[in-house]
Amino acid sequence: MGSNLTWHDAAVNVNDYRKKNGHHSGVIWLTGLSGSGKSTIANLVNKQLFEKGLQTYLLDGDNIRQGLNSDLGFSAEDRKENIRRIGEVAKLFADSGSIVLTAFISPYQEDRDQVRKLFNKDEFLEVHVDCPVEECEKRDPKGLYKKARKGEIKGFTGVDAPYEAPASPELRLESGSLDEQACADRLVAFLIEKGWVKG
C-alpha cells in the first residue's frame, strides 16, 4: 500500500444507511462444493429479502469471474486473491447498508477467516452449504465433475483439489438431504432469529 494515502471519512456512515433502510447490514458467506446449491439458495434468499423491501445484493462466483476477477485462474494463489477481492467488495456493500449474499466455493478456511476479519462480529455469517461430494458429482449441473474426472480440468475442488469445510459456521444447510427452497427458508428464518431481518 502506498505511503501517501489518507483515509477519508464519509459524511454518511453505515449506521446512517442502516437507519434509512430499517435493517442490519453485513455479509452472508455461502461456501460449499460445486453443485451443492449455493447459487440457487443465495438467489432464492435474495429474492425473498428483496420482496420484503430490504436493500440486498448478490455476489456470485461465476459472475464475478466474468468481470472483476476475469484475470484470475484457479491456482491456490489466484483463489486466494479471488476471495480477497470479493471480501473487499462485500465490505463496501455492507458499509452502504446492504445485506450481501455471496456464493463462492471458497475452499480454504484461511481465506474465509481473512474475509471475516474485515467485518465486525455481527456483520459476517459463514453458511456451509453442506452436500456430500458424491451427491454434488451426481448432480453435476455444469458438467464440471465429468470434465475433471477426464483430466480436462485441473485443480478442481472435490476431485484433485481440497475443500476445507467450516469447522464452526454460523449455520449449516444440509443441501444433500434438503431441497434448495427448504434451505433458503431455513436461512431466512436464521436471519430473523439473528435480528438481521424482521419476521
Q: Using one digit for the tens of pLDDT, what is the confidence trace for 88-140?
A: 999 999 999 999 999 999 999 999 999 999 999 999 999 999 999 999 999 98
* 38 assigned ligand-binding residue: yes
Instruction: Identify the CA nearest to 94 among candidates 186, 18, 31.
Output: 18
* 73 assigned ligand-binding residue: no
Q: Is 74 domain-assigned?
A: yes
* Model pLDDT, residue 1: 55
- For residues 184 and 42, give the distance between their C-alpha atoms in angstroms, rounded to a whole number: 7
Domain that holds residue 105: 14-131+163-194
Q: Is 111 domain-assigned?
A: yes
* 177 assigned ligand-binding residue: no
User: Which DSSP category does 78 fall into?
Assistant: H
Q: Is 154 domain-assigned?
A: no
Out of 25, 75, 98, 106, the active site residue is: 106
Phi, psi of 45 (to 5 degrees): -65, -45
Our answer to whether residue 106 is catalytic in this structure is yes
* 22 assigned ligand-binding residue: no
Q: Is 141 domain-assigned?
A: no
Instruction: Identify the CA nearest to 95 among candidates 7, 30, 17, 195.
Output: 17
Tell me the C-alpha to C-alpha distance, in Å, between residue 118 and each of 2, 74, 148: 20, 23, 34
Write out residues in the chain with pLDDT < 70, as ranges: 1-2, 6
How many independent structural domains does the chain possess?
1
Q: Is 89 domain-assigned?
A: yes
Q: What is the CATH number of the domain that holds 109?
A: 3.40.50.300
Extract the C-alpha cell encoding 174.
Answer: 444440509
Q: Is 6 domain-assigned?
A: no
* Model pLDDT, residue 3: 75
* Model pLDDT, residue 193: 96
pTM comes to: 0.91
* Model pLDDT, residue 110: 95
Q: Is 157 domain-assigned?
A: no
Q: Is 138 domain-assigned?
A: no
* 32 assigned ligand-binding residue: yes
